[in-house]
Amino acid sequence: MSPRHHLDEATVLSFAAGALSPEMAAVAATHMEICELCRDHLSDAERVGGALLGQQQPVAADTARGARLREAMLDLLDEEIEACPVEAYGPSTDALTADCLPRPLHPYFGRSWRALRWRWMAPGVHMIRAARGSGDTLILLKIAPGKSMPMHSHQGTELTQILQGAYNDALGHYAPGDVADLGNEIEHQPITAPGVPCVCVAALDAPLRFPGWLARKLQPLVGL
C-alpha cells in the first residue's frame, strides 16, 4: 500500500516536535505506520530537533546543583543495569490480523474491528467518538458506499486517514492509507465510492461548519 495523499510537512514537523494534540498525533501516526515518505520526513524533522537541541546555549547555572546532579549520575553508572526491554519496530507480531485496528488507535478505540460499537448518526452514517481526549475530537466514521456528505468547511484543522473503502472530493480520490490534511481554507463535499463502506479516523481541533439546510439538520445529530 503506497499512499498518494500525504501529511502536510508542517504537520510532520509538529509531530516530530511533540506539538500535535494526542488526537492529531494518533491520526498522523496511523498514516506514518504505512507511509514511508512521511516516515522519511519525520526522520528529517527529528534531525532538525537534534540540531536545535545541540544549539541550545545553557547559561552557567547553579554550579553546586550541577555538581550534585553529576555525582548522582556517576552513582547511577555504578549500579548494575538491567538491560531495558526494547520494543522492536516493525509490523507488530501480536494479532496483526484482519481484525486488528491500527496500533496508534488502540488507546482510543481498542484493538478489534469486530468489537467496535458503532452508533447510528444519520442514514448511512455511523460514528464512534473517542472518550478520552485533550480537547480535540477523535472520531471513527463509517459511511455507506455511494453517499454524499454535506458540503462543509472547518474552523481549524481536520486530519482524516482512510482505513477502508474510499471517497472522492474536489481534491481527489482518497483510498485506504491516504490522509487528508486540511486547513480552514478548504471547503469540501466528500462522496464515498461505491462498493464497501468508507471507514476513516478523523481528528478535529474545532467544530465543523456545515453550510446549507441539510447540514444544519445533521450538525446537532452528529454533535460535532
Partner 1 sequence: MSSSDPQVRGADYWSAQMAAVALRRDRDCFMRIYDHFAPRVRLYLKGLGSPEAVAEELAQEALLRLWQRAGLYDATCSNLSTWLFRIARNLHIDRVRREPRWVPMDDEPGWLDKDDGSGFSSAESHADQVDLQHRIERLPAVQARLIRMSYFEAKSHQEIADELGMPLGTVKSSLRRAFQRLQLGVRGQA
CB of 143 within 8 A of CB of 202? no
| 85 forms part of the interface with partner 1 (CB under 8 A) | no
Site string for partner 1, 30-69 (x = CB under 8 A): --xx--x--xxxxxxxxxxxxxxxxxx-x--x---xx--x
Interface segment toward partner 1; rule CB under 8 A; list 79-87, 116-124, 142-150, 192-200: 79-87
Tell me how far the alpha carbon of residue 59 is from its chain's centroid: 37
Q: Taking the CB of residue 137, how many other CB atoms lie within 10 A of it?
A: 20
Based on CB atoms, which residue is closest to partner 1, 72 or 213? 72
DSSP at 89: P
CA triple 156-140-116, angle to 5 deg:
160
Choice from 9, 96, 115, 216 touching partner 1 (CB under 8 A): 9
Choice from 70, 119, 216, 217 touching partner 1 (CB under 8 A): 70
C-alpha cell at 29: 501516526
Interface segment toward partner 1; rule CB under 8 A; list 8-16, 158-166, 172-180, 210-218: 8-16
- Please report, for the chain, how many H helices and E strands are present, in that order: 6, 12
Interface segment toward partner 1; rule CB under 8 A; list 74-82, 145-153, 158-166, 212-220: 74-82
| 177 forms part of the interface with partner 1 (CB under 8 A) | no
Choice from 172, 183, 195, 212 touching partner 1 (CB under 8 A): 183
> CB within 8 A of 188, min separation 6: which ones?
151, 152, 153, 169, 170, 171, 182
With H, G, I as helix, E, B as strand and everything else as coil, classify residue 210: coil
From CA 82, how far away is CA 80, in angstroms rounded? 7
Q: Using alpha carbons, select from 59, 47, 56, 38 the residue that is nearest to residue 17.
A: 47
Q: How far is the CB of 20 from partner 1 (least distance, A)?
A: 7
Based on CB atoms, which residue is closest to partner 1, 30 or 192? 30
CB of 143 within 8 A of CB of 149? yes
Q: Catalog residues that contact partner 1 under the rule CB under 8 A.
A: 8-10, 12-22, 24-26, 29, 32-33, 36, 39-56, 58, 61, 65-66, 69-70, 72-74, 76-77, 81, 83-84, 86-87, 89-90, 92, 103-104, 107-108, 134, 156-157, 183-185, 205-206
